[in-house]
């Protein structure tokens, strides 16, 4: 999936050059000429990194970064300052505020791409160590697999029930092909938030990528898990808005339900079943 970078710069010529360099490097680029315009754009767009000038009219880079960080969707989004200023105090101020890097103009294309790639890679390396996504508050895939193994072992020893529900966004690939991968990701975030609202505090719901989710229900048999899935689907009315036309596009879902315990006794068998269900959604949809 191509990464999307937001470039915020009041100088048209500087912004054009920076965007050109980034596009040549394989990134998708969004543009804004000041902090206010950028905040409006971020209301309904997903970005992977923000590259902003400091000295701008109306709202400078410091104020802009402060406003962006108020939105939990951008907790993990790398922030890079780009400025003609080369003052050590300004660099320290930016880093103290949580800025990920600080670049002084002029900068070569090679330097720009290297620093942007480093900031993105650093964030990607951190994600596997989280047990919960800071934006959607869903469990991560790595954490889900670990808990699945624990629950299977516990269920096998104590004879407790355990059920697995795998949910897929039926039109996920259509959202990617017909719109954009960032738009499909917004659909995933909205669907995940809704699913999270319908589970008990000790149930798990994880984002398994590519528009698929896995939910684990301790102490619940297949009948109870099936009723939960049917109820969620019956009341499902989630949609996302395409910003260019303000058209609402519905998110379709389907699901499979399996009893893990007492039918399955080992973590390896449970993980194999999970992978089979995930693959079935990927092949079919």
Residue 10 domain flag: yes
Q: Are residues 255 and 175 in the same domain?
A: yes
Q: Are residues 150 and 76 in the same domain?
A: no
Please tell me the distance from the alpha carbon of residue 242 to that of residue 223, in angstroms, as a whole number.
38
Residue 250 domain flag: yes
Q: Are residues 78 and 147 in the same domain?
A: no
The per-residue pLDDT for range 184-213, each reduced to its tens digit, is 888 888 899 899 889 988 899 999 988 999
Q: Are residues 145 and 264 in the same domain?
A: yes
The reported pLDDT for the residue numbered 204 is 92
The per-residue pLDDT for range 60-79, each reduced to its tens digit, is 888 898 899 888 778 788 99
The reported pLDDT for the residue numbered 285 is 46
Rounded mean pLDDT of the chain? 86
Within 8 A by CB and 6+ apart from 88, the residues are none
Domain extent for 100: 4-128
Within 8 A by CB and 6+ apart from 55, the residues are 61, 83, 84, 85
Q: Look at residues 74, 103, 128 and tell me which one is the last residue of a structural domain.
A: 128
The per-residue pLDDT for range 234-277, each reduced to its tens digit, is 999 999 888 767 788 899 999 999 999 888 889 999 999 999 99
Q: Are residues 120 and 50 in the same domain?
A: yes
SS3 91: helix
CB 101 within 8 A of CB 115: yes
The CATH number linked to 69 is: 3.40.50.2300
Q: Are residues 100 and 227 in the same domain?
A: no
CB 238 within 8 A of CB 251: yes
CA-based radius of gyration for the chain: 22
Q: Are residues 118 and 146 in the same domain?
A: no
Q: Are residues 170 and 280 in the same domain?
A: yes
What stretch of H or E contains 257?
strand 253-261
The reported pLDDT for the residue numbered 263 is 85
The reported pLDDT for the residue numbered 168 is 94
CB 77 within 8 A of CB 50: yes
Instruction: Please give the tally of structural domains in the chain.
Output: 2
The per-residue pLDDT for range 39-61, each reduced to its tens digit, is 999 987 888 999 999 888 888 88
The CATH number linked to 178 is: 3.30.70.270
Residue 133 domain flag: no
Q: Look at residues 128, 155, 174 and tell me which one is the last residue of a structural domain.
A: 128
SS3 228: helix
The per-residue pLDDT for range 79-104, each reduced to its tens digit, is 998 877 666 666 666 666 667 888 88
Residue 61 domain flag: yes
Q: Are residues 160 and 252 in the same domain?
A: yes
With CA atoms as reference, report the closest residue to 135 among 122, 121, 123, 150: 123
Mean pLDDT of the 119-138 span? 75
Q: How far is CA 116 from CA 7, 85, 111, in A?
A: 12, 19, 9
Residue 134 domain flag: no
Q: Are residues 18 and 74 in the same domain?
A: yes
Share of the chain above pLDDT 90, in %: 45
With CA atoms as reference, report the closest residue to 52 among 125, 124, 119, 126: 119
The per-residue pLDDT for range 132-154, each reduced to its tens digit, is 776 667 888 889 999 999 999 98
Q: Are residues 101 and 158 in the same domain?
A: no
Report CA dihedral (140, 145, 147, 153) to the nearest 10 degrees: 180
Omega of the bond prior to 262 within 30 degrees of 0, cis? Answer: yes
Confidence band (pLDDT; 50, 70, 90) for 20? very high
Residue 156 domain flag: yes
The reported pLDDT for the residue numbered 91 is 64
Residue 135 domain flag: no
Mean pLDDT of the 212-223 span? 94
Q: Are residues 37 and 151 in the same domain?
A: no
Please tell me the distance from the alpha carbon of residue 255 to that of residue 62, in angstroms, as a whole number.
45
pLDDT at residue 165 is higher than 90: yes
Q: Look at residues 73, 104, 128 and tell me which one is the last residue of a structural domain.
A: 128
SS3 260: strand
């Amino acid at each position: 999936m191509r990464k999307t970078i937001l470039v915020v710069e009041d100088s048209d010529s500087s912004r054009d050059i920076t965007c050109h360099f980034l596009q040549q490097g394989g990134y998708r680029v969004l543009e804004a000429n000041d902090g206010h315009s950028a905040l409006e754009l971020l209301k309904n767009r997903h970005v992977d990194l923000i590259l902003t000038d400091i000295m701008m009219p109306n709202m400078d880079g410091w104020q802009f970064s402060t406003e962006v960080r108020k939105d939990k969707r951008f907790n993990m989004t790398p922030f890079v300052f780009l400025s003609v200023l080369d003052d050590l105090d300004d660099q320290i101020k930016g880093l103290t505020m949580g800025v990920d890097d600080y670049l002084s103009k002029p900068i070569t294309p090679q330097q720009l791409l290297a620093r942007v790639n480093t900031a993105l890679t650093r964030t990607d390396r951190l994600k596997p160590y989280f047990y919960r996504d800071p934006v959607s508050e869903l469990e991560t895939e790595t954490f889900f697999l670990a808990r699945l193994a624990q629950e299977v072992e516990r269920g096998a020893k104590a004879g407790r029930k355990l059920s697995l529900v795998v949910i897929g966004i039926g039109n996920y690939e259509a959202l990617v092909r017909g719109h954009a991968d960032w738009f499909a990701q917004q659909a995933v975030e909205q669907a995940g938030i809704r699913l999270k609202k319908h589970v008990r505090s000790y149930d798990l719901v994880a984002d398994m990528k590519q528009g698929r989710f896995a939910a684990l229900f301790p102490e619940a048999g297949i009948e109870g898990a099936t009723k939960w899935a049917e109820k969620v689907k019956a009341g499902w009315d989630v949609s996302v808005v395409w910003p260019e036309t303000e058209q609402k596009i519905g998110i379709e879902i389907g699901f499979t339900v399996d009893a893990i315990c007492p039918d399955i006794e080992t973590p390896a068998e449970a993980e194999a079943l999970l992978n089979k269900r995930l693959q079935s959604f990927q092949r079919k949809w």
